[in-house]
Amino acid sequence: MEQHGLVMVYTGNGKGKTTAALGLGLRAIGAGQRVLLVQFMKGDPTYSELKGIAYLPGFEVVQTGLHHWVTKETISLLDKTEAQRGLNIARNAFVEERHELVILDELNCAIDYGLIPEADVLELLTHRPQFMSVCITGRGAPASLLEAADMVSEVTEVKHHFRQGIPAQKGIEF
């Protein structure tokens, strides 16, 4: 059966978008595929998922971001440079055609924060090899990306332990 790549988007205000994309990556590895995870706005190498991925041959990770939390009020030129580096890594992955799945984690946020132009992402997707699937995560996916996608899932928060005063938990949030 010929592999037909898809563009998939996980967006919304609920928790679990990155987790869903990582599950997709795990499934791809199990199917004998190669996965590239490009994390935008995440430069902390201590995330637990990175430790787990290290055990999975064929699952490559690149972080593009600094060690600090980015807010719309604190965006620096270096934040924009790192986001552009992530987009270039994705562009190169499309040219090299070594991965069946490319996950662009928090790319929606990078667009929303003005780190990457929306048009650049849409243009990038037009150069995706036919066999390659792309998964894009993050809150605030632009309408044009939702339109371009083959699959969109919106993660909605119904209840969250943060609201009950329970802090982020190792193995759950990080």
Least Cα distance to 122 among 153, 100, 151, 143 occurs for 143
What local confidence, expressed as pLDDT, does residue 162 receive?
Answer: 87
pTM across the whole model: 0.95
- Kindly list the domain boundaries of the chain, sorted by start residue: 7-164
Statement: 7-164 belongs to CATH 3.40.50.300: yes
| Rounded-to-integer distance, Cα 21 and Cα 8, Å | 9
Q: What is the pLDDT along the chain (174 residues), one digit of tens a residue?
A: 678 999 999 999 999 999 999 999 999 999 999 999 999 998 888 889 999 999 999 999 999 988 877 889 989 999 999 999 999 999 999 999 999 999 999 999 999 999 999 999 999 999 999 999 999 999 999 999 999 999 999 999 999 988 899 998 988 888
What local confidence, expressed as pLDDT, does residue 1 receive?
Answer: 66
What local confidence, expressed as pLDDT, does residue 69 receive?
Answer: 78
| Size of the chain in residues | 174
